[in-house]
Chains A and B, each alone.
Chain A
Amino acid sequence: RFLIAAHLSRASDIIRTIRDPEKPNTLEELEVVTENCVEVQEIGEDEYLVIIRFTPTVPHCSLATLIGLCLRVKLQRCLPFRHKLEIYISEGTHSTEEDINKQINDKERVAAAMENPNLREIVEQCVTEPD
């Protein structure tokens, strides 16, 4: 139980400082992610399922998928424990949320997207911690 709380806190810390792709603010400042948007479940010995539900600021489709990508990339790189990741748009916040959720959780789509140099550049800028 203590571990779950610790992992949850760690995940929150990782995502709150991600920068919005368009605005000069963090996802926390824009309330795209909050303390309550992270859920952690134990799914095996020393393995945890991390679920993120984020709220995009505008209903723009490509921006939502981009934020989803940033969340996935940073968590995958920074979470120090064995995990599986699910990222969703919080319910009722977007007209095409099913479509977006499917895209951002399809590992082949994600891998192919990250090979796009322009997209990769934007994601890197959003997830890199300032010195």
Chain B
Amino acid sequence: PLSPLSPGSGWACRAVLSDAHTRTVRRVAWSPCGHYLASASFDGTTCVWKRHEDGFEVVATLEGHENEVKSVAWAPSGTLLATCSRDKSVWVWEVDEEEEEFECVSVLSAHTQDVKHVAWHPSLQLLASASYDDTVRLYREDEDDWLCCATLQGHGSTVWGLAWERSGQRLLSCSDDRTLRLWQRCDTQGQGSGSEQSWQCVCTLSGYHGRSIYDVAWCHLTGAVATACGDDAVRVFEEVMPASP
């Protein structure tokens, strides 16, 4: 058994923010700077809270999705936010840090079914989305507008979660089809080679999970991958490196 790292003396509940949403809160995400918290809800809105010494205050309510918001994610730069919904769309919001204002700069309707999750690339302004339509899509900004630059097909059912590798070179997706898929870009890395990017599935992990895989997390420190599965188990995977000659 692992020993705990410097245990504190417990946890205290600092705030209960119960008046902003009128339905299930599905996802929460801290901003990279730590001052803001975004909450995505089945009520169709995403609230952005500012953290103060004595509590939290709503600084913005992002509206527009037609039904349940399933996920929200901050770009590592802190200047962009993405939300996704059962309405099949992904929205990209620009953050004006000084004014604490959020402006929708793009509504991306590439998916043909609910979008379950969105995840930003660790260093580039590249966004990935996972959908009930069994695909993963990637989006990037091209001359002031956002567009879908790749569609990753291969899963046999709903894609529930996504996790980027620390380097950003590979992306993991987990699915209702009980597999994990690893994706890697395979065209030349040039930026100007048209709007499309080519990605291929370089590895499929099947036979490990007994039921739908709902989430996947890729540790940026150790490279370990953890999965959340409907068969009541947590699994941890590590890449096996070839032995040095």
Contact = CB atoms under 8 A, between A and B. Distances in A.
A84 interface: yes
A58 interface: no
Interface in B119-158: 132, 157-158
B230 A84 contact: yes
Contact of B42 (A102, A107, A115): A115
Given A115-B23, A115-B42, A43 B86 contact: no
A115 B24 contact: yes
Interface residues of B, number: 17
A108 B230 contact: no
A114 to B, nearest CB: 10
A22 B67 CA distance: 27
Given A43-B210, A84-B211, A102 B158 contact: yes
A interface majority secondary structure = helix
Contacts of A111: 24
Could you say which interface size class chain A belongs to? 10 to 19
A46 interface: no
Given A84-B211, A115-B24, A108 B116 contact: yes
B31 to A, nearest CB: 25
A77 B105 CA distance: 44
B178 interface: no
A102 B70 contact: no
B68 interface: yes
Interface string B24-47: 100000000000000000100000
Interface in A47-103: 84, 102
A108 B157 contact: no
A108 B70 contact: yes
Contacts of B68: 112
Contacts of B86: 109, 112
Nearest to B86: A112
Q: Nearest 3 CB-CB pairs, A to B?
A: A112-B68, A112-B42, A115-B23
Given A111-B24, A112-B86, 6 more contacts: A84-B230, A102-B132, A102-B157, A106-B176, A109-B114, A112-B67
25 contacts: A43-B210, A43-B231, A84-B211, A84-B230, A84-B231, A102-B132, A102-B157, A102-B158, A106-B132, A106-B158, A106-B176, A107-B230, A108-B70, A108-B116, A109-B86, A109-B114, A111-B24, A112-B24, A112-B42, A112-B67, A112-B68, A112-B86, A115-B23, A115-B24, A115-B42
